Amino acid sequence: MITLKEALKLNKEDLNKFKEDLKAKIEADSELNAYIDVNNVGDGVPIAIKDNIQVKDWSVTSGSNILQGYISPYNATVIEKMLSAGLSAFGRTNMDEFAMGSTTESSFYGKTLNPRNRDCVPGGSSGGSAAAVAAGLAIAALGSDTGGSIRQPAAFCGIVGMKPTYGRVSRYGLGAYASSLDQIGPMTQNVEDAAILYDIISGHDEKDSTSANMNDKVSDKLDASRKLRVAVLPKHIENASDEVKKAYAQAIEALKASGHEIVEKELMDAKFDISAYYITATAEATTNLARYDGIRYGNRVDGKNLEDTFIQTRSNGFGDEVKRRILLGNFVLSSGYYEAYYVKAQKVRHIIKDEYVKIFEDVDLILSPIAPGTAPKFGELKNPMDMYLSDLYSISVNLAGLPALSLPICNAQNGMPVGLQLIAKAYDEQTLFDGALSLEKKLGYKA
């Protein structure tokens, strides 16, 4: 598969030929279920789009039954920016319903398979985007990251996935899961492509009240030769598998060999991250999904009266995982529990952010796992709690609003990719990409 950088240099004739070949390749590997459908908006380089990003005149369903038949009347800001830069939206990728999941199994369209081993999950919720890039069915893709939903599937599939600082990429046109955590980002074959796509989709947007008034670019200033101070977390990785610990040690040696300084730091127990995240995310999800009632949005299932219509619509429209998170969100926001759970979660979130600020007073980057192990096989996560606990390394980044990049380090003994993440301080994407490019060049990872 050609890279994004290479594709941007193709003439119109070659690009059209490439698109036809790509479409045929996607149809031939429909078993992977990376794409929900294949469309094309624009004349430019084809980019796969997660099914929760609005593309005008496309069906956009967030992987849910309740939005079947909905056609978007407008483009998300990231799509407008892509079209202006010579890219085209090319197909909707599969995802966990409303981005709620870590395996892409909760989709209305069925599960996506991991192209590295089709018995394994591709990760989630952006599993379709990750699988498409990893399988050579996309040059690059857009995903969304609420608690690791770009970085974790990127790690499981052996590609690069980048979550920008909160506010650096407009959320206008993104189907909301948890509004204070969600962020659109690039999923690519390499670090340089991620930087190029990040530059295209980032920047201030008046349509998004949380958008940062910044338009800095990074790809033309990439510098793998910069020497950085990188924090490592010896105690933080104790719950990781031996394969992840081995990859972590390998990455540290590669950073040292490239001239970077390694500094040991500590973060508080990740169990606090999980508690704060799932209280915050489900509370916000409950509010965001309240609009899907069959009256304002969503396929209506007529009941005996208005209340019964609400109940029937939501009962039939939402899947089990979405219902579970709505129930949890309503509980933590309910009278008598709001102070005990939600308010405490926000205090913990503040502590988590302060912890990162303190570390970044002394270092440029943090090296961390993304998941405790490699991609599990379908059925290995026995219950929802197993899935929630698998997010322990990814969610603090969203709670703190920081940029992070998932990078494949090596293959485990079972042949599956092992990815780690670099984390930077807020709005320091340049350092994040420079450090990631240095590590990528030193490792020379090949899937």
Q: Is residue 263 part of a domain?
A: yes
Q: How many domains does the chain divide into? A: 1
Q: Please tell me the predicted confidence (pLDDT) of residue 203.
A: 97
Say if 326 falls within a structural domain: no
Check: CB of residue 99 under 8 Å from CB of residue 149.
yes
Query: How many Å apart are CA 406 and CA 152, to the nearest integer?
Result: 8
pLDDT reported for residue 162:
98
Give one word for 137, left, alpha or beta, with left for phi > 0 and alpha for psi -120 to 50.
alpha
List the chain residues with pLDDT less than 70. Answer: 447
> Contact 60/51 with Cβ under 8 angstroms?
yes
Task: Please report whether residue 427 resides in a domain.
Answer: yes
Is residue 239 in a domain? Answer: yes
* DSSP track, 296-350: SBS-----SSHHHHHHHHHHHHS-HHHHHHHHHHHHHHSTTTIIIIIIHHHHHHH
Q: What is the pLDDT of residue 447?
A: 64
- Kindly report the pTM of this predicted structure: 0.96
What is the DSSP-derived secondary structure letter of residue 405?
Answer: E
Q: Would you list the DSSP string of 172-204?
A: TTBPPSSTTT--EEEEESSHHHHHHHHHHHBS-
Q: Residue 72: what residue type?
A: S
Structure tokens, 295: 């009256």
**Is residue 103 in some structural domain?**
yes
Q: How many CA atoms lie within 13 A of 162 on its CB side?
A: 33
Paired residues of 366 in beta bridges = 231, 423
* Count of alpha carbons within 13 angstroms of residue 67, beta-carbon side: 22
d(C-alpha 379, C-alpha 369), whole Å: 23
Catalytic site positions: 50, 125, 149
Asked whether 391 and 282 are in contact (CB, 8 A), the reply is no
Which CATH number does the domain housing residue 439 bear? 3.90.1300.10
CA distance 228 to 248: 17
- Dihedral sign for Cα 20, 21, 24, 25, please: negative
150-186 residue pLDDT tens: 999 999 999 999 999 999 999 999 999 999 999 999 9
ω into 125 cis (within 30 of 0): yes
Task: Record the tokens describing residue 166, joined without a space.
Answer: 């909160």
Query: Each residue of 284-312: pLDDT tens digit?
Result: 999 999 999 999 989 999 999 999 999 99
313 domain-assigned: no
Model pLDDT, residue 384: 84
pLDDT of residue 445: 79
| Nearest one of 426, 371, 410 to 394, comparing CA atoms | 371
* 302 phi and psi angles, rounded to 5 deg: -65, 135
Widest Cα–Cα separation across the chain: 70
pLDDT computed for residue 383 by the predictor: 83
Identify which of 87, 86, 104, 84 has the alpha carbon closest to the alpha carbon of residue 95: 104
Range of the domain at 381: 4-267+354-443
Is residue 315 domain-resident?
no
Does residue 79 belong to any structural domain of this protein? yes
C-alpha to C-alpha distance for 403 and 421, rounded to whole angstroms: 10
- CA neighbor of 304 nearest in space, from 292, 313, 296: 313
